[in-house]
Structure 1
Amino acid sequence: MTFTKPTLPADIDPATWPQLPRWQRLQIMTRHWTDNGFGTPHGVYVLYVVKIAAYLGGAAAVISLTPGLGGLGELTSWWTQPIVYQKLVVFTLLFEVLGLGCGSGPLTLRFVPPLGGFLYWLRPGTIRLPPWPDRVPLTRGDTRTVADVVLYAVVLGSLVWTLLAPGVGGPVTARGDVGLLDPMLVVPTLAALALLGLRDKTVFLAARAEHYALTLIVFFFPITDQIAAFKLILLALWWGAATSKLNHHFPYVMAVMMSNNPVLIPAKWAKRRMWRDATHDLRPSALPRLLAHVGGTLSEFVVPFYLVFFAPSHGPLLWAAVLYMVAFHLTIASTIPMGVPLEWNAFFIVSLFYLYGGYGDYRVSDMDSPLLLAILAASLVAVPVVGNLLPDKVSFLPAMRYYAGNWAASAWCLRPGVEDRIEANVTKCSALANRQLATLYGPQIAEVMLDKMMAWRSMHTHGRALNGLVARAVDDESGYVVRDGEYMAGPLIGWNFGEGHLHNEQLIEALQRRCDFAEGDVRVVLLEGQPIHRSWQAYRIVDAKTGVIERGYVEVADMIARQPWPEPGDVFPVRLHGTEPTVGAAR
C-alpha cells in the first residue's frame, strides 16, 4: 500500500484477470481481504480524517457566528448553550443533504469527483425515484424537473438561513444564554424536504431525515422537553441498531469491518483471527461473534439504558458511561467502513458530551408534552417495528437497522456494451466507477479493484446468497460482467449508502426507458432483508426488458453455511414463490 495506490494481490496478472472464472476471482480477493482489508491507499484515510475535521470545525465556526454567543476562541464558555445543539443539528442536516457526509468519497465508489449529492440534485433531467408514484398525486415519472430542483434549493437555502439566525426569547436556562432558534425558521425546511421526499426518496434518505428532520420538529417544544427528546432520539437509534443486530448476519459484518481496521488491528495475524480459517473457511471465528454480540449488541442495549434512566446527573459513574459510548463510536469510525458514516458517529460523540456533560440534570421523565411523546413514539417505535417485520416496505434507515448486515442488496449482470450505452444515454453525476478508476489507474487495474469491492459484498451473508443466485439469473456467467447495485446507484441517482431499494425495479425501469436494452442484456438479482421473525430472505430476478422472471426465498442457514465464493457446480438452494422448499429448481 502507498499513499495513492491500493494494495492488491501481488501474484495476479491484471491483463488476464477478467478471463478467470468469477468464483476464482472472488476466492482470490476474499482471501486477500483477510490480511489486507480493502487495501485502501493511505491518502484515502487522510481524506476522510480531514473531512471529519472539516465537519466539526465548520460546525463550530458557523455556530460561533450566532449574535451574542462569542467567537471560536470562547467556545468553552458557550458550547453548552441550548442554541448550540440546535444549530449543530441544522448544520449536520445541511452537510448530509449536500452529499458531503454518508455515501461520499472513494469508499462509496466515488473517485472523480469524490461526491455526488448537490452536483446531481440541482440538475433537471436526472433520475429521481418517487417512493409511492401510484399512490401520491403529482409524483409519477422518473425525471427530475425544475420544480424538484427548486424544492431542493429551498431545503438548502432555508437551512443556511436558519444557521445564520440569532436566538430569540431571551435566556431559557438558569445559567443564561442567547435563547433558542425561532422554530418557524425550520418550517420551510421540513415542508420542502417532505414534498421533495415524496418525489425523490433518494434525497430524503440522504438527508438522514429519520434522525435530523425528526430532531427539527423537537424545536417547537420548550427546552426541558427538547433535551429529554434529544436523549430519547439517541436512545432509540442505539436500541434500534442493537435490535437489528440480533441475527446471524452481524458477526460477518464485524469480521469484515475489523479485518479492514487500520487503527486498532493493523497486524495481519490479528486480522486473520477474525476468520475460522483465513484461507479455507471464511466464516467468522468466535472472536468477531463475541465482539458483535457483547461488545456491540449488549453494549448498545445496556449502557444507553443506564445513561438515560439511571445515571447520576454528574460524577464518575456518569462519565464512565459517556466515555464508554464515546469509545464505542470511535471504534466504529476507526474501521473506516464502506459507506463511511463518519460524521454521524462524530455527531453521536458530540451529543454525548453535550447532553450528559452539559445537561445531565435534565431527565427524560421531565418531558411534559403528550404530543411530543406521541410524535417520538410513532417515529422511533412504530416505524422501526414495521421496518423489521416488513423490510421490503421500509428502508433500513428509518427502520434503524444500522450496521446489522441485514440489508437489501442487488447484483447486476451486464452484457458487453451495456455500460457504454448507459454512459451515452443517461445523465449522471459522474462516470461509472470502472471509468473513474480507469482514469486513475488504467482499465486493467480498475477491473481488479472492482472485484475487491465485490469481494467485500461476498463476505457478508447476503453477498453469499447473491453469488449463488447469479447462476439462476444468467445461463453463462462468462458472457456478463457482474456489478454491485451500489456501483450502479451512485452515478445514476447521486447517492448510495447501502440501501438496496435505491437500485431495485424502479432504477431498472428508469434505465430501460433511457437505454432500450434487449432481453437478456441486463439481469438483476434483488435480495430483500430478513424479516426479524422469519428464517428466510425473499429474492427476485429481473430482466430489464421483460420484468420479473423469478421470485423465491433463500434460507439464512444456507447463506451462513457457504463460502464467499460460489463453488463450481454447486447449486444454491431456493424455494420458489408459491412452492415447497426445493434445491436447484429450474427457472
Structure 2
Amino acid sequence: MGFAQPDLPAVEPEHFLRQPLMERMRILSANWVEHGFGSPWMVHVIYIAKLIFCYALGAVVVATLTSDLPAFWHVSQWWNQPIVYQKAVLWTVLLEAIGVAGSWGPLAGKVKPMTGGILFWARPGTIRLRPWKWVPFTAGDRRTRVDVLLYVALLIAVAVPLLAPGAPSASLSAALPDNTSGLVSPMLLIAPMVLLMLMGLRDKTIFLGARGEQYLPALFFFAVLPFVDMIIALKLLIVVVWVGAGVSKFGKHFANVIPPMVSNSPLIPSKWFKRAHYRDFPHDLRPSHLAQVMAHVLGTTVEIIAPLTLLFSQNKMLTIAAAVLMVCFHLFIVSTFPLAVPLEWNVLFAYASVFLFVGFPAWDGYAVTDMSSPWLTAVIVAGLVFFPILGNLRPDKVSFLPSMRQYAGNWASATWAFAPGAEAKLNKVTRSAANTVDQFVTFGYEPEWAEVTMNAPIAWRCLHSQGRGLFSVLLKALPDIDSRTVREAEFVCNSLIGFNFGDGHLHNEDLIAAVQREAQFEPGELVVAWVESQAWGSSVQHYKLIDAATGVIERGTWKVADAVQTQPWLPDGPIATEITWSRDHRTSGTRV
C-alpha cells in the first residue's frame, strides 16, 4: 500500500468481473483478511488530521475561548471544567448535524464529495424519511423549503450556546466555589432540543445523523438538572450506552465483527496477526478462538464490567484503571477505522470516561446515591433504558442506534441487485452525489478497478452473519444474479440521502419507494434483499425481498445459527430460508 495509492486486490479486473458472484466473494473476502478495504494511507491520514485538528483541537479552542478559560495548551486548567464538557457535546452535535463527523469520507462510501449531510439536508427536493407515518404534518418523502429552514435553524440553535459565554449557576457554585466559567445557559438549550425533536419527527435521517439518541438526553440534563444531579445523570447516560452495547453483543453475531475490523486496521501491519482471527485462512474464514476471546472477553466483558465499575467504585485506583481501560477501548475502535467511521464519537466517549468518573468521582459526592432523590434516579434510568429494551425486543420499531447495538453485528442490512445497466437510473434521483462507483471513477480510478473496489463492501458484508443470509435469499430468487450489479446498501444509501451509520431502517422499503418515484425502475430491474435485526428471544432473522417497481414480493426467515456456520462465499450453497409470505401465493415453507 502506498501513501496515495490504494492496495488493490491481486486480480485482473476484466477476468475477475466475469467470475460468478460468489467466486468473487471468495476472492475478496480472503483479500479483506489481509488488506481490509485497501484504502491508501492518505485516506487514514486525512481522517486523523480531521479528528485532531477539526474535532478535538477545534472543540477545545472554541470551549476555552468562549468560556474565559486559559488557552487550550493549559490542559490541566480546563480538562475538568464542566462547561468544556458541555461545549464538547455541542461541538460534536454541530459537526454530526453538518455531516463532517461520523459517516464521512471514502470509508463511508463518500469519495467525491467526501461530505454528505448538509449537501443533502439543506437542499429542497432531496429524500426525506419520516420515522412514523401516523405523525401528522409529516406526509411526503421529499424535503421542502420548510424542512431546509428547520435544519438551518437547528444548526444555528446549536451554534448559539456553543459560542455564548458561560452563565452563572448557583448549584455549580455550591459544589465548586472556585469555578468562574459557569455553565452553558439552560435557556439557550431549549431551542436546539425542540428543533432536534421536531426535525426527528419529520426526518429521522437528520435526527440519527446528529446522534440525537445520545446527545438529546445530555442536552436535557444540561438544561434542567442542578449541577450534582447533572453529573450523575450524565454518568448514567454513558453507562447505559456502554452496557447496552455490551449486552447487545451477546449472541452469535459479534464474534464475526472483530476479524474484519482488525483486518481493516492500518495500524496492524502483520498479516499473521490478521489471519489469526480466522480459523484457517483462506479455507475457513469463520472467527477463530482468538477472535472469540477478543469479542467476548476484551470486548463484551470489558464493555459491561468496566462501566459498572466506574459507576459504583469508591476506590480511586480501581476507578482510574477502569477509566484508562475504557479510553483504550475507544482508541482501539478508532484504530480500526470502521466503515461508518464514528471516530469523533469514540474520542468524546474516551474524554467522558476521564471527565465524568475521574474528574467527578463517586467518593467526592458524585455517586449514584448522591442524586437529590431516589425517585429522580429511577425515572432517569427508566427513561434511558426504555428504547434499548424496546429496540431489542422489537427491532422493527426502533433504530439500532437508540437500541444501543453499536458494533454488535446484529444489524438490519440489505443488498441491492440491479439488472445490467439499471444502476444508472439512480442518476434521475434528486441528490448531491453520484453513484459511488462513479465517484471512484471521478476520483481517478479506472472503471474496471472502480467496479472491483465496489465489490469489496459486499465481500465485507459476507464476512458478517447477515450477509450470508442476504446472499442466500438473492441466489434463490434471482437466477441471473451473476450478471447483475450487486451493491452494499449502506454505500447506495449514502449516495441517496447523504448518511448511513449501519442502520438498515434508513434503506428499507420506504427509501426504495422514494427512489422509485424518480428512478422509475421496471419490474425486476432492482431487487433488494433486506433483513431485520435478530430480536431477543428469537433464533431467526426476518427478511424481505423487495422489487423497487412492485414492492415487497416475499417475506421469510433464516436461522442465525445457519448463517454463522457457513463460509462467506456459501460454498455449500445458500442457507435454508423459511418463506412466510409470498406475493405470488407460493406455498410457504423451507426453501433449500
Q: TM-score range by the shorter chain?
A: over 0.9
Could you give the per-residue CA deviations for residues 92-145 of structure 1, whole angstroms, max 9, x where no partner exists? 111111111111111111111111001111101100000112x01110100100
- Matched position secondary structure for 1:204: helix
Matching of residue 388 in structure 1 with residue 392 in structure 2:
yes
Residue 290 (structure 2) aligns with: 287
- The Cα of 1:337 is off from its aligned counterpart by 1.1
The correspondence of residues 142-541 of structure 1 with structure 2, limited to 5 A, is 142-170=141-169, 172=173, 173-219=176-222, 220-263=224-267, 265-312=268-315, 314=316, 316-360=317-361, 361=364, 362-369=366-373, 373=377, 376-423=380-427, 425-439=428-442, 440-541=444-545
Using the alignment, how far apart are the partners of 1:142 and 1:511 within structure 2? 9
Could you give the per-residue CA deviations for residues 536-574 of structure 1, whole angstroms, max 9, x where no partner exists? 000000111111111100001110121111337x24301
Could you give the per-residue CA deviations for residues 159-213 of structure 1, whole angstroms, max 9, x where no partner exists? 1111111222255213323211111111111111111111111000011111111
Residue 584 (structure 1) aligns with: 591
Could you give the per-residue CA deviations for residues 275-329 of structure 1, whole angstroms, max 9, x where no partner exists? 11111111001000011111111111111111110242x3x32221111111111
Residue 83 (structure 1) aligns with: 83
The correspondence of residues 103-122 of structure 1 with structure 2, limited to 5 A, is 103-122=103-122
Length, aligned pairs only: 578
- The Cα of 1:408 is off from its aligned counterpart by 0.3
Using the alignment, how far apart are the partners of 2:587 and 2:398 within structure 1? 27
Q: Comparing 317-326 with 432-441, which one deviates more in the overlay? A: 317-326
Amino acid at match of 2:208: L
Task: Identify if the C-alpha distance between structure 1 residues 561 and 18 changes in structure 2 by more than 3 Å, giving closer, same or farther.
Answer: same
Unpaired stretches in structure 1, ≥5 consecutive residues? none
Matching of residue 29 in structure 1 with residue 36 in structure 2:
no
Using the alignment, how far apart are the partners of 1:39 and 1:442 within structure 2? 16
Using the alignment, how far apart are the partners of 2:533 and 2:237 within structure 1? 24
Q: Comparing 431-440 with 303-312, which one deviates more in the overlay? A: 303-312
Amino acid at match of 2:328: A
Contact 2:255 2:287 in 1 (8 A): yes
- The Cα of 1:376 is off from its aligned counterpart by 2.8
- Matched position secondary structure for 1:261: coil
Could you give the per-residue CA deviations for residues 469-488 of structure 1, whole angstroms, max 9, x where no partner exists? 11233231134211111121
Using the alignment, how far apart are the partners of 2:79 and 2:429 within structure 1? 47
TM-score, length basis structure 1: 0.95
Task: Identify if the C-alpha distance between structure 1 residues 244 and 31 changes in structure 2 by more than 3 Å, giving closer, same or farther.
Answer: same
Residue 123 (structure 1) aligns with: 123
- Matched position secondary structure for 2:194: helix
Task: Identify if the C-alpha distance between structure 1 residues 372 and 65 changes in structure 2 by more than 3 Å, giving closer, same or farther.
Answer: farther
Residue 95 (structure 2) aligns with: 95
Task: Identify if the C-alpha distance between structure 1 residues 325 and 85 changes in structure 2 by more than 3 Å, giving closer, same or farther.
Answer: same
Residue 566 (structure 2) aligns with: 562
- The Cα of 1:15 is off from its aligned counterpart by 2.4
Using the alignment, how far apart are the partners of 1:522 and 1:379 within structure 2? 41
- Matched position secondary structure for 2:416: strand
Amino acid at match of 2:260: V
- The Cα of 1:74 is off from its aligned counterpart by 3.8
Using the alignment, how far apart are the partners of 1:33 and 1:106 within structure 2? 16
Amino acid at match of 2:164: A
Contact 1:461 1:559 in 2 (8 A): yes
Using the alignment, how far apart are the partners of 2:303 and 2:178 within structure 1? 32
Amino acid at match of 1:348: F
Using the alignment, how far apart are the partners of 2:456 and 2:502 within structure 1? 17
Amino acid at match of 1:202: T
- Matched position secondary structure for 1:441: coil
Residue 553 (structure 1) aligns with: 557
Matching of residue 15 in structure 1 with residue 3 in structure 2:
no
Task: Identify if the C-alpha distance between structure 1 residues 557 and 582 changes in structure 2 by more than 3 Å, giving closer, same or farther.
Answer: farther
Task: Identify if the C-alpha distance between structure 1 residues 571 and 326 changes in structure 2 by more than 3 Å, giving closer, same or farther.
Answer: closer
Matching of residue 69 in structure 1 with residue 69 in structure 2:
yes
Contact 2:242 2:307 in 1 (8 A): yes
Using the alignment, how far apart are the partners of 1:426 and 1:581 within structure 2? 36
Contact 2:490 2:502 in 1 (8 A): yes
Contact 1:228 1:364 in 2 (8 A): yes
- Counting aligned pairs with the same residue, the percent is 44
Could you give the per-residue CA deviations for residues 38-87 of structure 1, whole angstroms, max 9, x where no partner exists? 22211111011111102000000110122432332444223322211111
- Matched position secondary structure for 2:116: coil
Task: Identify if the C-alpha distance between structure 1 residues 197 and 375 changes in structure 2 by more than 3 Å, giving closer, same or farther.
Answer: farther
Amino acid at match of 2:112: V
Amino acid at match of 2:44: Y
Matching of residue 574 in structure 1 with residue 564 in structure 2:
no
- The Cα of 1:374 is off from its aligned counterpart by 5.4
Contact 1:82 1:223 in 2 (8 A): no
- Matched position secondary structure for 2:555: strand
Amino acid at match of 1:209: G
Contact 1:573 1:582 in 2 (8 A): no
Using the alignment, how far apart are the partners of 2:147 and 2:588 within structure 1? 46
Using the alignment, how far apart are the partners of 1:292 and 1:73 within structure 2? 37
Using the alignment, how far apart are the partners of 2:416 and 2:395 within structure 1? 21
